[in-house]
Amino acid sequence: MRAAVYTTTGESGVLRVEEVATPEPGPGQVRVRLHLSGVNPTDWKTRAGITARSIEEFQIPNQDGAGVIDAVGSGVPPRRVGERVWVWFAASGQRWGTAAEWTVVAGERAVPLPDGASFELGASLGVPALTAHRCLFADGPLDGQTVLVAGGAGAVGHFAIELAKRAGARVVTTVSSAEKAELARAAGADLVVDYRDEDAEARIRDFSPGVDRIVEVALGANLSLDLAVARPLAAVVCYASTGEDPVVPVRALMTKNLVLRFVILYGVPAADLARGVADVTAALREGSLTELPSRRFPLDEISAAHDAVEAGFVGKVLLDLA
Ligand X SMILES: NC(=O)c1ccc[n+]([C@@H]2O[C@H](COP(=O)([O-])OP(=O)(O)OC[C@H]3O[C@@H](n4cnc5c(N)ncnc54)[C@H](OP(=O)(O)O)[C@@H]3O)[C@@H](O)[C@H]2O)c1
Binding footprint of ligand X on the chain (CB under 6 A)? 40-42, 127-128, 131, 150-151, 153-157, 174-176, 180, 195, 217-218, 221-222, 239-240, 242, 263-265, 312
Closest to ligand X by CB, 70 vs 201, is 201
Cβ neighbour number for residue 93 with a 10 Å cutoff: 9
Shortest Cβ distance from residue 130 to ligand X (Å)?
8
- Beta carbon nearer to ligand X, 196 or 206: 196
Q: Which residue is nearest to ligand X (CB)?
A: 154
| Cross-sheet strand order for the sheet of 191-194 | 191-194, 170-175, 146-150, 211-216, 230-238, 259-262
Tell me if residue 233 falls in helix, strand or coil.
strand
Q: Which whole-number Å values give the CA distances from 46 to 54, 107, 211, in the listed order?
A: 10, 24, 34
Q: Shortest Cβ distance from residue 196 to ligand X (Å)?
A: 9
Minimum Å distance from CB 163 to ligand X?
14
Question: Of 68 and 314, which has the nearer Cβ to ligand X?
Answer: 314
- Give the residue with the Cβ less far from ligand X, 71 or 265: 265
Nearer to ligand X, 19 or 198 (CB): 198
Handedness of CA 241, 127, 167, 165 (dihedral sign): positive
Residue 149 backbone dihedrals phi, psi, to 5 degrees: -110, 110
Q: Which amino acid is at 279?
A: D
Closer residue to ligand X (CB): 232 or 269: 269
Q: In terms of CB distance, is 254 or 311 closer to ligand X?
A: 311
Residue 26 beta carbon to ligand X: minimum distance, rounded to whole angstroms:
27
By beta-carbon proximity to ligand X, the closer residue of 84 and 133 is 133
Nearest-angstrom CA–CA distance, 104 and 307: 26
Report helix, strand or coil for 258.
coil
- Under a CB-based contact definition with an 8 Å cutoff, are residues 294 and 315 in contact? yes
Q: Residue 198: is it exposed, middle or buried by C-beta count within 10 angstroms (0-12/13-18/19+)?
A: exposed
Q: How far is the CB of 110 from ligand X (least distance, A)?
A: 20
Q: Check residue 225 and report its DSSP letter.
A: H
CB of 91 to ligand X, least distance (A): 14
Find the shortest distance in angstroms from Cβ 124 to ligand X: 10
Distance CA 29, CA 73 (A): 5
CB of 27 to ligand X, least distance (A): 28
Nearest Cα to Cα of residue 279 among 165, 138, 141, 133:
133
